[in-house]
Amino acid sequence: MGIFAENLLLNCCFDGNIRFPWQAYFHEADGASGVIGVENEALYVTVNSPGNTADWSWTIQARHQYLTLQEGHEYWNMEDIPVTTEPQTFTDTFTIYFDNLELSDIQYTPEPTPIPLPKPDVRVNHVGYYPRRAKKQQF
């Protein structure tokens, strides 16, 4: 696909066995259960039960905090495979390992870095100000 924008995923390599900002959701009310963790600098999700519902499409989710997907954008993973919205179904206990993840947004435009405002020469604290009273400053 050519040159991608920067990787949208934070902590894509799990260096130091740190999981944040990755989470797993298991809809326990439908019987879904499992474990998420990091070992050998790879994220793993073990699914013990996919749940008892006929619609398993959302009973288990791997989630990433601070990831915003925008409608109408085209996303690609590190292997040039379009990301699908089609669910995948598994029926037995299994473990999936993730490492060196990448998700790129072809239309990604980074937010501009805000320019810090200069600090004023005189700084005041609003605590103790009284309405309709004379204001005096000291240098």
Residues 66-78 pLDDT 10s: 888 888 887 776 6
59 inside domain: yes
137 inside domain: no
133 inside domain: no
115 inside domain: no
Range of the domain at 56: 15-105
7 inside domain: no
Residues 76-132 pLDDT 10s: 766 554 556 676 666 678 888 888 888 888 777 767 788 888 887 766 666 666 667
* β-sheet with 94-98: strand ranges across: 32-39, 42-50, 94-98
Residue 137 has pLDDT above 70, yes or no: no
What is the reported pLDDT for 91?
67
How many independent structural domains does the chain possess? 1
94 inside domain: yes
Nearest to 49, CA basis, from 19, 93, 6, 16: 93
Residue 42 has pLDDT above 70, yes or no: yes
What is the reported pLDDT for 87?
67
Distance (Å, whole) CA 32 – CA 56: 9
What is the reported pLDDT for 2?
41
pTM of the shown model: 0.62
- Residue 12 · residue 68 · CB < 8 Å: no
112 inside domain: no
Query: CA-CA distances (angstroms) from residue 114 to 40, 67, 107, 110?
Result: 38, 21, 21, 12
